Amino acid sequence: MQTSLDLSSLSRREALKAGLIFSSGLLAGNWTGSAKAAEPKVDFGKEGLHFLAVGDYGSGNESQRKVAQRMNEFAGSLGAPLSAVLALGDNFYNKLETERFGRGFEEMYSKEHLDCPFYATLGNHDYGPGYDSKQGAPKADIQLAYAKDNPTSRWKMPAKWYTVEFPNAANPLVKIIYLDSNMHEEGMLTPQEKLDQKRFLEAELAKERKAKWLWIVAHHPVFTDTIKRKDSPGLIKNWGGYLQQNPVSLYLSGHDHNLQHLRLPDYSASFLVSGGGGAKSYETKLSDRGFSQTVYGFNHIHVNDERIKVQIIDADGKCLHAFTRDMNGKMEITV
């Protein structure tokens, strides 16, 4: 159970050591972090892998185009190729036809510097016809079929749940388990699919792990500091034990249209919400659980043998929050 403490009595070092607060903004009386925005770090040397993460982007509006352009520009400044973009769901709002992949994905995200796989998960708006559209074919099936029928496309969705290892399965540094979190509404995952996914997750976690790092990607947050939403009791019940009992360093999600980095008692994972891809923003609340801001943007992740470095970058290209964590879960806030 989380205890509410008077953070004003703690020094920054004590607060960080206690794992109570992860943004200098709160201690400075500026939780939004805007006054602390900095130029993002782009020089990481030759070692390690680079990823971007973005969710809730499938609107086709000007905000999506701006974030997509900024992602391309930032990727071009790294001086190293991206291993992948982690696409966190709500890939297409409203009616989906195969033709939308051209303007809504292939052309939206420039190959200039984003010429890498986009490994995608399914969001609630990626299902139909009952949820987001009255079209005949379920939107999820269209996305799965596009990946299968267009193997040379950057769009990758081999299944509703799957595992991918980077840089390769023979010598992986990072293992990412993709899950379908659409388990708590009608017309999405069937009872059999829920059981199959549970068995898949348990089997993946039971395997001997070659990769040093283990991440989980899903659309819905387990925990959130969005005003209009609450922590997910369903995901806490279904996945909380797996997150606590396994060395998961990052849990990445979207669904809430903002940017967050939270750390919870009894969980070693860092929880990232990267739902700022273009859909209408959701306001966040002040919390002692971490950083949150109502803003469009994306995440950059650099990982090597020793540590992960995460940057939260807005649509203007500014780094609003950044942190590193090592293999033991020790974390340092750098922005």
- What CA–CA distance (Å, rounded) separates 57 from 277? 4
- What CA–CA distance (Å, rounded) separates 167 from 299? 19
Residue 96's contacts (CB-CB under 8 Å, 6 or more residues apart) are: 128, 133, 135, 139, 142, 143
Instruction: Tell me the per-residue pLDDT of 141-151, one tens digit each, with 9 for 90 and over.
Output: 999 999 999 99
Residue 115's contacts (CB-CB under 8 Å, 6 or more residues apart) are: 81, 154
Residue 148's contacts (CB-CB under 8 Å, 6 or more residues apart) are: none
Region 307-324: mean pLDDT is: 97
Q: What is the mean pLDDT of the chain?
A: 89
pLDDT of residue 184: 87
Region 273-299: mean pLDDT is: 95
Q: Which of 7-11, 153-157, 191-195 has the lowest mean pLDDT?
A: 7-11
SS3 call for 271: strand
Is the confidence at residue 8, as pLDDT, over 60? no
pLDDT of residue 19: 38
User: What is the SS3 string spanning 280-302?
Assistant: CCCCECCCCCEEEECCCEEEEEE
- What CA–CA distance (Å, rounded) separates 225 from 106? 32
Region 245-257: mean pLDDT is: 97
DSSP 126: G
Is the confidence at residue 28, as pLDDT, over 60? no
% of residues, the chain, pLDDT over 70 = 88
Dihedral pair phi/psi, residue 148, rounded to 5°: -70, -40
pLDDT of residue 21: 38
The model scores a pTM over 0.85: yes
- What CA–CA distance (Å, rounded) separates 44 from 236? 35
- pLDDT category at 133 given cuts 50, 70, 90 is low
Return the domain boundaries, the chain: 30-90+161-333
Please provide the CATH number assigned to the domain covering 30-90+161-333.
3.60.21.10
Task: Give how far Cα 221 sits from Cα of 78, 98, 181, 239, Å.
Answer: 29, 28, 9, 11
